[in-house]
């Protein structure tokens, strides 16, 4: 019951926000890619109690039931990919898809391969 009340509160707060703003743009996720054998233990001084806590931003959006999509939006200084999460209004899935497509066409980030992939391809004599 407490979980449902918390979900309802998040939903209502986001619904009110979305009355003013057509889209919500968020990082996907809140940290840059990291080695698979490790996990994020702290973000901006906030301790992560479990492995999945660093993904809280994405989980909260899922609770709202709003349409969302992730698109490539650049690279870290180390050449690792990062994403942008686009969240739209209730039942406005097509608007989210249109914005994602427009963003991808304008930035062409989806056409760029991370540096480490190019290095691996060179080692295997492949072309990306």
Q: Mean of the pLDDT values across residues 102-122? A: 78
Residue 107 vs residues 19, 82, 111: alpha-carbon distances, Å? 28, 13, 9
Q: Where are the domains of the chain?
A: 2-123
For the whole model, what pTM was predicted?
0.75
pLDDT tens, position by position, 29-85: 777 776 666 777 888 898 888 877 777 767 778 888 899 999 999 888 878 888 999
């Amino acid at each position: 019951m407490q979980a449902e009340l918390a979900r309802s509160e998040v939903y209502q707060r986001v619904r009110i926000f979305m009355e003013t703003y057509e889209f919500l743009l968020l990082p996907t996720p809140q940290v840059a890619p990291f080695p698979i054998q490790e996990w994020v233990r702290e973000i901006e001084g906030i301790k992560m109690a479990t492995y999945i806590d660093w993904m809280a931003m994405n989980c909260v959006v899922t609770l709202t039931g709003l349409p969302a999509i992730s698109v490539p939006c650049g690279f870290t200084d180390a050449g690792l990919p990062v994403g942008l999460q686009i969240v739209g209004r209730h039942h406005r899935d097509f608007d989210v898809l249109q914005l994602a497509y427009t963003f991808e066409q304008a930035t062409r980030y989806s056409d760029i391969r991370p540096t480490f992939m190019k290095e691996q391809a060179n080692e295997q004599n492949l072309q990306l």
